[in-house]
Amino acid sequence: GQNIDQPTEMTATEGAIVQINCTYQTSGFNGLFWYQQHAGEAPTFLSYNVLDGLEEKGRFSSFLSRSKGYSYLLLKELQMKDSASYLCAVRDQEQGGKLIFGQGTELSVKP
Amino acid sequence: DAMVIQNPRYQVTQFGKPVTLSCSQTLNHNVMYWYQQKSSQAPKLLFHYYDKDFNNEADTPDNFQSRRPNTSFCFLDIRSPGLGDAAMYLCATSGRTGGVDTQYFGPGTRLTVL
């Protein structure tokens, strides 16, 4: 079966660092995506990993270990506007592959 | 520069009254998707097109239909909306942009069923 797990909610302090974990078990794998979604808005693409290792993009970094079926999204220097839901999604095949989404992690950033 | 455009942004319909949601894209991506997202839930894939090839998810109700007349446009038709169909409907495209295979979402259409 297809399964994506991530924590339901997390709380962090402005200026701090937070790591959101995602584990997956899927029949196929061709990349893992992280999206940010503010309430009532569409998901916004943050990062994409298809090879093992760390991808850094400004304050956001994403890590992938394919052998462990594990990824994390690291957010540094947290800002209040980072309060949102963070969705982990796995693409299951190379072309036209659909994304299998996790339930999302609701991150609350407090002053 | 909007890349995936959805119209309308908000749609109100009556129970049982057919409704059509539209999506257009300027990315020239060959894959387009329709997702349904209810409050505090992950997006749920309804169907997708790879070029003109239609792929329906096994658990998508027959009440939901889709059309893709050309590369740029895709429509979601809900033939007889029920109260349980009230949700955000997200259109997305998939293709290689800037050397990376990514999926881009439109702003969504929030559907209310009265």
Q: In what order do the strands lie in the sheet with A53-57?
A: A3-5, A18-25, A70-75, A60-65, A53-57
Where does the pLDDT of residue A96 fall: very low under 50, low under 70, confident under 90, or very high at 90 and above? low
Q: Which residues of A touch B39 (CB under 8 A)?
A: none
Q: What sign for the dihedral angle of Cα A65, A68, A74, A80?
A: positive
Residues B33 and B66: their CA atoms lie apart, in Å, by 10
The average confidence (pLDDT) of chain B is 92
Cα distances from B51 to residues A31, A55, A104, B48, B86, in angstroms, run 21, 31, 29, 9, 28
What is the rounded average pLDDT of the residues B89-106?
Answer: 83
Task: Give the CA count within 13 Å in the CB-facing half-sphere of B103.
Answer: 33
The whole-angstrom separation of Cα B93 and Cα A2 is 22
Query: Which residue from B42, B100, B106 is facing A101, i.e. has the nearest CB?
Result: B42
Band of pLDDT at residue A16, cut at 50, 70 and 90 = very high
Query: Is it the case that residue A95 has pLDDT exceeding 70?
Result: no
Residue of B nearest to A86 (CA): B42
Q: Assess A103–B contact: CB distance below 8 Å, yes or no.
A: yes
Pick B103's closest partner by Cβ from A33, A41, A103.
Answer: A33
Computed over every residue of chain A, the mean pLDDT equals 92
The residue in chain B having the minimum alpha-carbon distance to the alpha carbon of residue A94 is: B101
In a 13 Å sphere around the CA of B10, the CA atoms on its Cβ side amount to 2
Contact yes or no for B90 and A41 at CB 8 A: no
A45: which chain B residues are within 8 Å (Cβ-Cβ)?
102-105
Q: Could you give the CA distance from residue A16 to residue A108 in angstroms, rounded to a whole number?
A: 12
